[in-house]
Each structure stands twice: as structure tokens, then as C-alpha cells.
Amino acid sequence: MPSAIRRRSPEELLQQIQAEEDYERRGRLKVFLGYASGVGKSFRMLDEGRRRSERGQNVVVGAIQPKTTPEIEAVLSKLEVIPLRDVGGVLVMDTQAILKRHPGVCLVDGLAYDNPPGSAHASRWEDVNELLDAGISVITSINIQYIDDLRERVQQITGKTVTQTVPRSFLNSADEIVVVDAPPEMCIARDGQMGAGSSSPEQKLSELREIALLLAADVVDKQLEAYLHRNGIPQTFGAQERILVCITPRANAAPMIASGKRNADRFHGDLTVAYVRQAEISAQDQEALERNLSIARSAQARIEILDGQDPIETLLKFAHEHGVTQIFVGHSTREQWWERFTGTPLDRLIRGANDIDVRVFPH
Amino acid sequence: MPDRPPSGKLKIFLGYAAGVGKTYQMLEEAQEARRQGIDVVIGYFEPHGRKDTIAKTEGMEVIPRRKIDYRGGLFEEMDTDAILRRHPQFCVVDEFPHTNVPGSDRLKRWQDVQALLEAGIDVVTTMNIQHLESLNDQIWNITGIRVRETIPDWVMQQADQVVMVDLTPRALLNRLARGVVYSQEKAQKALENFFQESTLVVLRELALRQTAHEVEIRQVDYDAPGFQPEPGYHDEAEQPSDKRDRILILVTPEPATAMLIRRGKRVADYLHADCFAVAISREIDLHDMPARDREIVEQHLNFARNLHIETRVLQGQDVAKTLVEFAHLNGVTHLFLARPHPNQWPALSRRSLVQQVVHLARDMQVTIAADRSNRQQSQAV
């Protein structure tokens, strides 16, 4: 297993140079992520702008939400503000004016705002994208309820519907993401908006808080991957549990996959089900395999069909390359006589796994 | 939690490195409590020469530290007795994982905090993720550093609230470069180990995930059953997935056992499973073992108990058989074994312990825990 820098192919090198160049040209995006209004996202964002400005960076405020607190007003008074533009009664960030002013850093509150019809971009996050393309760094803030793939889950908790969203991929492209974490009682005191539904406000806020923390962890994981990629370091470790369930046509896959799913959920980890292709399997086995794969699909596992001469070696190679932390395998307790002398496949798997947990399901 | 819950409330500000702002945020909370008329004192505070942080202590009552003479040196520790006598409503205690100098009443600061909580005093404190016991091997693997001062996971679980103090690694590195966190010389040293950007990113992700986990286990419906395969596929499965998991760890003199115990406990905590550990010997009370081995097994059992794992010593001639019989009798669903030592792979025609256990434990899962100390040197197959 490679430990640091491995020799790369010319294609990989080109890819890396391209990635580095793209990265250098663009402005940096930093996102303050909150799980409810009242946790203090906007303040944290503006306060960072103030501190940067005091350290000599060229900072402007591109957009701020209409409702402000005295705390926010105090910070705002120390910063240059590019006024919002009035478009038919709707206040819109003046992207052209910001581009003309061309600051080093632009602060943009309310990333999920929609622009009125007829604007250059439908949403504020696309304006931000344009600023980044122009080499302007942006610090922004967003509440998790406006992230497209979380919208439904958050709606189920809060009972509130939102229409404006920011794509998850845009968030994943952020250079830095910061969770503004606060205990739920603070938001209840400031807000008191959690009306609908049966569970208590504490319970709802706690669920939202968990979503925000895990989202940040996932984005951080993506960033780590990108960082390692940019620097040509293959991923050898991570903070996330990754479970690999190895199946065969005859494996009793249901309990293994159910357990894999449960473990992945509890660890908020990643679940992959892998099958090493066997040459010429019977129609009956093919059918059994399909059945097992469909269980994997219903558990929403990622499915990998691997090719290789030696199934054990193939699985271990995949596991090591993908930072797997737990391998789940079935094991027949009917031993073949020769395995007494050669060691069973299970022995070989355990020996080769070394830095990965091996969980055996006897049958 | 089997223990009587302490009556004071504990809040932990969790970070992933020095300089992310844990102490600052803790003091901000203390100031807010003071504004609300709560009786607040500082039990222990480590200024590290940071101006902004020191400013946050303004106007707060500080309980003087206790001086302890140890081997000719004078050490300062939190004066827990003095705080108990003063008995405030709310006490600030920095650096939760700290180990007290010998001669103190308690070994660890977290034990001092327990005493305050038991007396009904609310406590706010700070710690970094690398000090959580069950992550010790992973942290070693990631940073190359074996962290000695650890907090058992159950102590964190007992806290009323865990709050993540987040700062991006880049911002942290900038602060370090500007000398906000450490003096220049110390900063240089820090940059060489914990403070490499990729290391910080991983530590931060661990802290985020741990905080999410701490938030989750405090929710009411945590024990709801998970995914069930569609009906019809379930015919051979003996084990319904909503059955409560019970994990059993086999303790031996092998050095890898400490790693095994941490990992087994961590998995048990995430699955909300019961967790036991047993050692097995041919004679009562391990008397057949060489003295050195017996001592190591005792240490491992003691370590398990410190992590709130119930332990037992079993008597039996055959390790695999004794283990599996005990597991069956106690409704165990999942066994944890250490990896065999490289030179202990069985000679030809002799089955390994793993083989024997797997053969007997037909209705259980058997995990052979990884050796997380040498992630970089996997053996060829």
C-alpha cells in the first residue's frame, strides 16, 4: 500500500495541473452554515469581514438581509457596503457594481435568495459564482433548509416550505465551510418559530443540528479528497467509516447487508456491496446473485462488480484503495480438507486486511 | 448509563486543535450566565498569553490554584476543595483531559469535574477530539502521536451538551502563523505534527462526526429499528435486525487487546449495544498463566472496566468453546477478537482461534479488529 507519493501517469499529472490552475484562478468561497435562524451566521460572517479588513484586506459587503440586530449594525458601520439595487420593488445584489469595484473579498448574506425575472442569473448563488470566476473571494452564509438535497428532510422536521435552494454541488465546491454550532436553547430563545408538528422545539432543533454537523463533515470529507488529489496523495485514511459487504451468489446476503446498512447508518458512514465476477456461473446462481444485488439496491448501497483472478486479492485491493474500514464477509463453516494445509480464504483475507476490521458472518 | 446521573450540568466545548477558540467561547458563555445573574467562578483557566481570551475573564471571580510540591518542583492544579467550599452555581474549567500531578486528590481533572457535578455545580469545560479514548488508535494512525491524556467516552456521554467550536484549518493555520496561538518557536514545532493541513482536516471531520453523534444519542427516538430487507429475503436470517446487539470482547495478554477493547466499545456505543469483555484461563483466576501475562490481562480488564465495560474471568480448557458457550448463554450477537500476532498463524493442520470460533459461533457475527497502528504497511496477501 503506497504511503505518500506514488508515481503518476502523464494523464494523471495533466489532470492535476489542470486542477491546480483552476484552483489558483478562482476566488475562494467560504460558507458559514447554520441549522436555524438565530444561531449567529450573519454575525460570524460580517465579523470575519471586519477582522480581515482591519488586517488590510480589501473587503466590501455585497448583500445583507433587511432585518438586522444592533450587534450587526455595529459591525456593518465599519465596512464598505455596495448598496442593493431596487428592481421593481425587489432588492437585488448589484453584481455589476461589485465586479467594477473588484474587491479582494465580498461578503454575501442570504446565499439562497432568488433574483426577480429578467435578471442575469435566477439566483444569488449564481451571482456569487460569477464573482468567484472573476477572482473575487466570497464569504457567505446559509441555513441548511435552503440546500436542495436537504430541503425535504428539513421540511419534514420544521413543517415549513421553502422554494429557494442552492445546489449541494455548489456547497461542495466551497474552499472552507464553517458550522455555526450553538446549543438549541439559544435559538428557541431568539426565534420561537418551530410551530408545526408533534415533537418539541428542542427535538426538532436537535435533529436540524445533527443534519448540519453531518453535512459539514461530508463537505470536509470531499475537500480532503480534493486536497489529496491536488497534491497527488492517494487516500489512505479518513474520518469516515466505510463498510464493504462482500457477496457471492450463494452468500446469505440479507443479514449481512441489513447489518451493513445499520452500521453505516449509525456511523453515518458509507456502504458498498461488492461482488467479484466469477466465470461461467449457473443460471441458478445467476438468479441468486440478482436477488442478492437487489437487496443491496434496496438498502441504497453502492454496488461494485469487480474483476480479478483472485477474489480475495481483488477485494483487498479495492478495500485499500477506497479507504474501507470494515469488510463484511460470509463464511461457510464447512471446511474443505485441503484448506487445512493451504489456509482458508478467510485466513488469507484476515491476514491481508491487516488495517481493516473483518467481520465474519458464519453460515 | 448505569451510574447515578450527577446533578450539576456539564457542557463540553469540543474542538480539534489548540487555537480554534474553545476557551474563548466557553468564557463567552460564562459571561452570558453572569449577565443573567448566575453565580459564576473560574475554577481553572489557561491563558496561554492570548489577549482576546484573557479579556473575556474580566470581572469574573477566580478561585486560586492549589500549589503541589512534586519532586522538588512546584505545580499548580485546580483547587477542587476550594471550589466545593465556595459552591458557586456555575464553574469554568479549562482543559478537561488534563492529568493532575501526583499528590493531587484525584488522578484526572475530569474526575475533579465529576466531584463538582455531584455537588450540584454546573460546569463548562473544553477539550479536543484527539483526547477521546475510543479514537486513540485512529488518532495515532492519523497523526503518529499516541495521546496519553484521554477522556473515557462515557464521560462525554454523560455531558448535558456537546458543542462544536469550528474554525477552518486554513484560518487556524493563519492564526498560528500570526502568532495568535503559540509563540513562534512553539508554533514551528506544532506545524510539524498536529498542524499539517491534511491532518487538521481529518481531525476536524472526526470532531464534526462525533458532535453529530453526541447530538443524535441525546434525541428521544434513538433506539428505533433500522433498515429491514424486504420480506421474502429474510427466510434464513436467524437474527431480526431490531434485536438488541450484545458485543463480547475476548481479552488476552496480546498487546493488540487495548486496541480491540477501544474498537469494540466504539462500535457498541454507535450501535447502542451492550458490551462485555472476558478473559479465559484453564484455572480459576488466571493462575495457570505466567505472572507477567496475568498482570497484563489484569491491566486489560481494568482498562475495559474504566471504559464502563462489564468484565468477567471464565474458566475453561478450550478457549474457543468457553467463549462461544458463554456468548450463547448471554445472548451475545457479536464477538470481537484481536488479530493473531504475525508469528502466531497456526502451524499446518492446526486451526487458528479465529477458525475455531467462527466454526462454533454459527449464529453470531465475529469481528477480527484491525491493527490501526500500522495503516501504512499492509502485508501482501
Average pLDDT over residues A69-85: 90
Q: What is the full DSSP assignment across B234-251? A: -TT--S-TTSPPEEEEEE
User: Which has the minimum average pLDDT: A41-45, A340-344, B176-180, B219-223?
Assistant: A340-344
Reported confidence tier of residue B283, pLDDT bands at 50, 70, 90: confident
In this prediction, residue B6 carries a pLDDT of 56
Which pLDDT score, from 0 to 100, does residue B287 have?
A: 81
What is residue A244's three-state secondary structure? strand
For A323, list phi and psi in degrees, rounded to 5: 60, 35
Identify the band that residue B344 occupies on the pLDDT scale cut at 50, 70 and 90. Answer: low
Does residue B184 carry a pLDDT above 90? no
**Chain A contact set for B272 (CB, 8 A):** 266
Amino acid residing at A66: P
Q: Of A157-171, B185-199, B296-310, give the lowest mean pLDDT range.
A: B185-199
Q: Across the interface, do B201 and A261 touch by the CB < 8 Å criterion?
A: no
CB atoms A213 and B215 under 8 Å: yes
Q: In whole angstroms, how far apart are CA A301 and each of B141, B144, B161? A: 28, 33, 33
Give per-residue pLDDT as tens, A91-123: 899 999 999 999 999 999 989 999 998 889 999
Q: Which residues 6+ apart lie within 8 Å of B207 measured at CB?
A: B14, B15, B16, B128, B129, B164
Of B163, B167, B220, the CB nearest to A182: B163
Q: Which B residues 26-65 touch A at CB under 8 Å?
A: none
Across the interface, which of B229, B263, B272 has its CB nearest the CB of A258?
A: B229
- Kindly state the helix (H) or strand (E) to which residue A30 belongs, with its residue range: strand A29-34
> Tell me, what's the pLDDT at A134?
95
User: Which cell is B304 given?
Assistant: 475495559
Asked whether the predicted pLDDT for residue B249 surpasses 90, the reply is yes
When mean pLDDT is compared across A31-35, B183-187, B359-363, B373-377, the lowest value belongs to B373-377
Min CA distance, B41 vs chain A (Å)? 21
Q: Give residues with Cβ within 8 angstroms of B365, minimum separation 6.
A: A259, A359, A360, A361, B333, B334, B335
pLDDT averaged over every residue in chain B: 85
Chain A, residues 185-244, CB within 8 A of chain B, namely 199, 203, 206-207, 209-210, 213-214, 216-217, 220-221, 223-224, 227-228, 233, 236-240
Which cell is A22 given? 483552476
pLDDT value for B381:
31
C-alpha A121 chain-centroid distance: 25
**Terminal Cα distance for chain B, rounded:** 43
Closest CA to A251 of A359, A363, A344, A334: A363
Q: Please give the span between the terminal C-alpha atoms of chain A, in angstroms, as a whole number.
A: 32
Q: Report pLDDT digits (tens) over B140-171.
A: 888 888 899 999 999 999 999 999 999 988 88
**Cell triple for A9:** 501517469
Question: Which residues numbered 288-347 in A keep a CB inside 8 Å of some CB on B?
Answer: 291, 295, 298-299, 310, 312-313, 316, 320, 325-326, 331, 333, 335, 340-341, 343-344, 346-347
Spatial contact of B26 and B126, defined as CB atoms under 8 Å apart: yes
Instruction: Determine the pLDDT at residue A245.
Output: 96
Task: Give B241's pLDDT tier (boundaries 50, 70, 90).
Answer: very low
Rg (chain B; Cα; Å): 24
Closest CB to B372 among A216, A350, A355: A355
Q: What dihedral do alpha carbons B258, B262, B263, B267 form, nearest 10°?
A: 150
Tell me which residue has cell 500531578: B101
In chain B, residues with a C-beta closer than 8 Å to the C-beta of A239 are 138, 202-203, 205-206, 209
Q: Is the C-alpha dihedral spanning B188, B189, B192, B194 positive or negative?
A: negative
Residue of A nearest to B143 (CA): A237
CB contact, 8 Å: B364 with chain A?
yes
3-state secondary structure at position B121: coil
Nearest to B349 among A210, A340, A347 (CB): A340
What are B39-76's pLDDT values in tens digits?
Answer: 999 999 988 878 888 999 999 999 999 999 998 889 99
The pLDDT tens digits for B20-32 are: 999 999 999 999 9
Q: pLDDT band for B116, please (50, 70, 90 cuts).
A: very high
* Residues of chain B positioned with their CB less than 8 A from the CB of A1: 376-378
At position B195, the amino acid (one-letter code) is: F
Q: Residue A41 has what pLDDT?
A: 87
Judging contacts by C-beta atoms under 8 Å, the chain B residues touching residue A176 are 168, 170-171
Query: Cβ separation of A217 and B354 shorter than 8 Å?
Result: no
What's the predicted TM-score (pTM) here?
A: 0.82
C-beta atoms of A355 and B171 within 8 A: no
**pLDDT single digits (tens) A192-248:** 444 444 567 788 888 899 999 999 998 888 877 777 766 666 555 667 899 999 998
B69 in helix, strand or coil? strand
CA distance A81 to A61: 5
- Give the B window 272-291 contacts with A, CB below 8 Å: 272
Total count of residues recorded for chain A: 363
